[in-house]
Amino acid sequence: MKDIFRRIHSVFLKVALFPTSFSRSGPRPAASEVLTCHLLQRNLPPWTSFCVRYSAIHNDQFGLSNFNWGVRGSNYQILRTGCFPFVKYHCTKAPAQNLNFEDRFFTILKVINLGIPCLAYGIGCWMVVGARETVQTSVGPVTVYFAYKEEEGAQY
């Protein structure tokens, strides 16, 4: 079932939202690579919250809303949502936990709401972007966006 939703979502984004993506040349990095590279580039911060444009990545984390993500021996609990035209990440360094219930709960909420709150969240993110940073990936640079400039090493 997840694969069916992934295909529908992908076609919707390509046809309705990114018609230029059909003619796009060059590979896009996986969202997971951008996440990992960002955390490493920031020297594994205690937390971070950022957005990346759908059009800049390959969405290999489709269907994941709340999950653990390991980077060089550190674990991050990730809250992730699509918020057009971005994918939003909230990352907190924390011990690994079983997040299956929370992941399914958030995913079900998004489906029940038809993604409308996610669209509103994306428009809000677009309006408050106050800082950006370039993340270096294996296929080139990707810009990530922040509501405000984060202080390096800040606990909150």
- Residue 140, by phi and psi: left (phi above 0), alpha (psi -120 to 50) or beta? left
Q: What is the pTM (predicted TM-score) of this model?
A: 0.82
The whole-number pLDDT of residue 140 equals 95
Q: Please give the Cα distance from 65 to 103 (Å, whole number).
A: 5
**Residues 13-56 pLDDT 10s:** 556 555 555 555 679 999 999 999 999 999 999 999 999 998 89
d(CA 13, CA 130): 26
d(CA 45, CA 102): 23
Q: What is the pLDDT of residues 61-99, one digit of tens each?
A: 988 999 999 999 999 999 999 888 899 999 999 999 999
Q: Which of 30, 47, 20, 52 is nearest to 146 (CA)?
A: 52
